[in-house]
Chain A
């Protein structure tokens, strides 16, 4: 094991990106603001992409409709937040938190239920047929977008934020948005929970084994179908949660949100490697940091930067940076 591997290997890449950006940006306060924004965005992308990575890895399902869960999560959360608008504007932090908890919980429950429906009705009939999976899940994404359009209308929806998450704090001369710090903490907590689920429980062990070899898990006496639906619901719930957080981050959302996020979520999963939570986190952080730094240094290249990053990584590691199956 060489020295780079010993100190984290590919997981040092975000650090390398941050160091290079620090040199290019020059101003430490701007760099810190961009880094915090990138980390917060990365955590939200991680929430959206982690389920897709697991579903892709475990079930070999190309779900192009995954970002529909992101959209629904965002709009359901926005509606719940609007319903509790009085609590959000209150000086009581307790009421602020309760409104936020209800909004995120509603998004999660709706996402899980939609995931169950999606898996049973749309995905199950096309298992092991990638072409039909792509067609039917893309179709489902379009239907989802139209449903959102019919329910919430075409004009951008304003998302209310709780009072306690408004504003900024000043750290070392940098202005840091409180919501971004909150998003980072929520993402980190979810990552820790997923890590413990996958590495400290029997269900997690089965998921990790299933990602590698589904047939063998069945030959050892486990029904993988039940695991499939559980993972699909977990993935869709996480995506909806990511959508809810994204709604609070953007504060203005449109029905096209899902389609807009789809490309970036797939880039994250491809960069990170299929079926790996660590890989997805790594991919999400790298993509988000790149987008923020390049957006500051060369705004016209911001969108292209992630495509270039993905191309470079796939040329170096065709299976992504940290795939579950080695």
Chain B
């Protein structure tokens, strides 16, 4: 059984119809990559899963339970974390305060906190600094750290490499690889080389429809398919 199943999801934002019958199965474990051109509907798909868009048509089931009508906070409490494209950092709060808000009880599990420090040492260094003063890469680290400070079954991550330096992207890739050993990641990404290095399964979304699903290995080997589905905006692999 899939960890997350989306069936025939239609989403409209204002007068615009953005998703048209999206159907997707995200298996448990590893990194599932959602690829697509700008405006294809990738971000809308993630926001619909976490309940940030008004009642989409169709169904979203998580571990067999229909979550499509639940409030965002209830979906989060089912074990789904969300790292938005803009990172969603609370700039006026310190790194510590950002982290403590992501805990259910307001207290840290020291083992998990140690793991966060291990993955992202900069966060320990800037623990008491206000988050707005962090660099772009450090903010992204904080956003991901918030998603893993509590046990989660699924993390939705939207374009985490956008605007980051190559060295930070590489470190982020290592962190995602380690996180995906225990937690499923649904990753929206435009940087194909980054996505290719992490993804086990993948799907391509275009014009609000899923136009391809399969394994990342097969997709990476088929340059003609890549050209056809992604050539307009994806970088060369």
Contacts and interface: CB of A to CB of B under 8 A. Distances in A.
Contacts of B77: 221
B90 A212 contact: yes
A326 B91 contact: yes
B58 to A, nearest CB: 21
B84 interface: yes
A206 B103 CA distance: 12
B101 interface: yes
A218 B71 contact: yes
Contacts of A222: 73
Interface residues of A, number: 21
A144 B101 CA distance: 39
B93 interface: yes
A321 to B, nearest CB: 14
Given A205-B97, A208-B93, A218 B84 contact: no
B100 A205 contact: yes
B90 A208 contact: yes
Contacts of A209: 90, 93, 97, 101
A4 interface: no
Interface residues of B, number: 23
A220 B102 contact: yes
**Most chain-B CB neighbours within 10 Å: which of A208, A209, A219, A324?**
A219
B92 A325 contact: yes
A130 interface: no
Contacts of A202: 106
A324 B91 CA distance: 9
A216 B50 CA distance: 11
Given A202-B106, A218-B71, 17 more contacts: A205-B93, A205-B100, A206-B101, A208-B92, A209-B93, A212-B93, A218-B72, A218-B76, A219-B73, A219-B82, A220-B76, A220-B102, A220-B146, A221-B73, A222-B73, A223-B71, A326-B91
